[in-house]
Amino acid sequence: MSSTQSVKPTRSGQSTHTIRELTAAFSIWLAAGLVMAILAWILIDISIRGLSQINLSFLIDDVTDAGRSGGIGPIILSTILILFVTLSVSVPLSIATAIALTEQLNSESLLARYVRRCLDILAGVPSIVFGLFGNAFFTITLGLGYSILSGGLTLSCMVLPILIRTAEQAINSVPLEHRHAAAALGMSRSTTLFRVILPAAAPALAAGIVLSIGRALAETAALIFTSGYVARTPESLFDSGRSLSVHIYDLAMNVPNGGARAYAAACVLVAMLLVINETTALLLKFAGLGSTPHAGGCR
Amino acid sequence: MISAINLSVTYHGKIVLRDATVKAEPGKVLALVGPSGCGKTSFLAALNRMTDLIPGANIRGQITFDGRPIDSVFSNRAELRRHVGMIFQKPNPFALSIRRNIELGLREHGQRNRDELRQITEKVLRDVGLWDEVQNRLDQSALELSGGQQQRLCIARAIALKPQVLLMDEPCSALDPLAAEHVEKLIQSMRGQYTIIIVTHNLAQARRLADNIAVFWTRDSVGEIVEHGPTETLFGASSNEIVKSYLSGRRG
Burial of B201 (0-12, 13-18, 19+ CB in 10 A): middle
Q: Please report the DSSP string for chain B in residue order.
A: -EEEEEEEEEETTEEEEEEEEEEEPTT-EEEEE-STTSSHHHHHHHHTTGGGGSTTEEEEEEEEETTEEHHHH-SSHHHHHHHEEEE-SS----SSBHHHHHHHHHHHTT---HHHHHHHHHHHHHHTT-HHHHTT-TTSBGGGS-HHHHHHHHHHHHHTT--SEEEEESTTTTS-HHHHHHHHHHHHHHBTTBEEEEE-S-HHHHHHH-SEEEEEEEETTEEEEEEEEEHHHHHHH-S-HHHHHHHTTS--
CB atoms within 10 A of CB B210: 26
pLDDT score recorded for residue A171: 93
Whether B19 contacts B43, CB under 8 Å: no
% residues pLDDT > 70 (chain B):
100
% residues pLDDT > 90 (chain A):
65
| CA separation, residue B84 to residues B64, B87, B140, B183, B234 (Å) | 12, 10, 28, 19, 27
Neighboring chain B residues of A177 at a CB cutoff of 8 Å: 88, 90, 92
Rounded to whole angstroms, the Cα distance separating A71 from A55 reads 9
Nearest to A187 among B105, B141, B145 (CB): B105
Nearest to A297 among B50, B82, B145 (CB): B145
Nearest to B80 by CA among B31, B42, B46, B123: B46
| Residue B170 zone, left/alpha/beta (φ > 0; ψ -120 to 50; rest) | left
Rounded to whole angstroms, the Cα distance separating B201 from A16 reads 53
Nearest to A225 by CA among A127, A157, A87, A126: A127
CATH of domain A76-243: 1.10.3720.10
Secondary structure of residue A294 in the 3-state scheme: coil
Cβ–Cβ gap B95/A289 under 8 Å: yes
pTM attached to this predicted model: 0.80
Nearest to A54 by CA among A277, A210, A272: A272
Neighboring chain B residues of A288 at a CB cutoff of 8 Å: 96-97, 139-141
Q: Is B50 on the interface with A (CB under 8 A)?
A: yes
Which is more confident, A283 or B206? B206
The number of residues making up chain B comes to 252
* Shortest CA gap B78–chain A (Å): 4
Q: Residue A289 — very low, low, confident or very high, per pLDDT cuts 50/70/90? A: low
pLDDT at A177 over 80: yes
Nearest to A178 by CA among A103, A106, A288: A103
* Shortest CA gap B7–chain A (Å): 20
3 state SS for A102-140: HHHCCCCCHHHHHHHHHHHHHHHCCHHHHHHHHHHHHHH
* Shortest CA gap B88–chain A (Å): 8
* Shortest CA gap A161–chain B (Å): 27
Cβ–Cβ gap A296/B91 under 8 Å: yes
Q: Residue A132 — very low, low, confident or very high, per pLDDT cuts 50/70/90? A: very high
Q: Residue A3 — very low, low, confident or very high, per pLDDT cuts 50/70/90? A: very low
pLDDT in tens, A32-49: 999 999 999 999 999 999
Neighboring chain B residues of A174 at a CB cutoff of 8 Å: 95
Read off φ and ψ for residue A6, nearest 5 degrees.
-70, -25
Closest-approach residue (CA) in chain A for B50:
A184
Rounded to whole angstroms, the Cα distance separating B199 from B35 reads 11
Cβ–Cβ gap A185/B161 under 8 Å: yes
* Shortest CA gap A183–chain B (Å): 8
Q: Please report the DSSP string for A71-108 in residue order.
A: --HHHHHHHHHHHHHHHHHHHHHHHHHHHIIIIIS-TT
Q: Which DSSP letter does residue A193 get?
A: I
Cβ–Cβ gap B82/A185 under 8 Å: yes
Rounded to whole angstroms, the Cα distance separating A268 from A96 reads 33
Read off φ and ψ for residue B160, nearest 5 degrees.
-60, -25
Q: Residue A10 — very low, low, confident or very high, per pLDDT cuts 50/70/90? A: low
* Shortest CA gap A207–chain B (Å): 17
pLDDT score recorded for residue B240: 86
pLDDT at A192 over 60: yes
Q: Where are the alpha helices (DSSP H) in chain A?
A: 3-7, 11-50, 56-60, 73-99, 110-124, 127-134, 148-172, 176-184, 189-191, 198-218, 221-224, 244-253, 259-286
Q: Is B90 on the interface with A (CB under 8 A)?
A: yes
pLDDT at A286 over 80: no
Secondary structure of residue A174 in the 3-state scheme: coil
| CA separation, residue A299 to residues A26, A180, B252 (Å) | 34, 20, 27
Closest-approach residue (CA) in chain B for A188:
B78
Homologous superfamily assigned to B2-92+164-247 = P-loop containing nucleotide triphosphate hydrolases (3.40.50.300)
Rounded to whole angstroms, the Cα distance separating A292 from B166 reads 29
Read off φ and ψ for residue A94, nearest 5 degrees.
-75, -40
Neighboring chain B residues of A293 at a CB cutoff of 8 Å: 143-144
pLDDT in tens, B50-71: 998 888 899 999 999 999 999 9
List chain B residues with pLDDT less than 70: 252
Cβ–Cβ gap B161/A297 under 8 Å: no
Using an 8 Å CB-CB cutoff, list residues of chain A that contact chain B: 174-175, 177-188, 191, 195-196, 199-200, 288-289, 292-299
Cβ–Cβ gap B92/A297 under 8 Å: no
ipTM: 0.89
pLDDT in tens, A262-274: 999 999 999 999 9
pLDDT score recorded for residue B252: 64
Nearest to A295 among B82, B92, B97 (CB): B92
* Shortest CA gap A287–chain B (Å): 9
* Shortest CA gap B216–chain A (Å): 24
Q: For an interface test with A, which of B108, B133, B154, B159 has the most A Cβ atoms less than 10 Å from its Cβ?
A: B108
Domain locations along chain A: 76-243
Within the 122-141 window of chain B, which residues sit less than 8 Å (CB to CB) from chain A?
Answer: 139-141
Secondary structure of residue A279 in the 3-state scheme: helix
Nearest to A295 among B109, B150, B161 (CB): B150
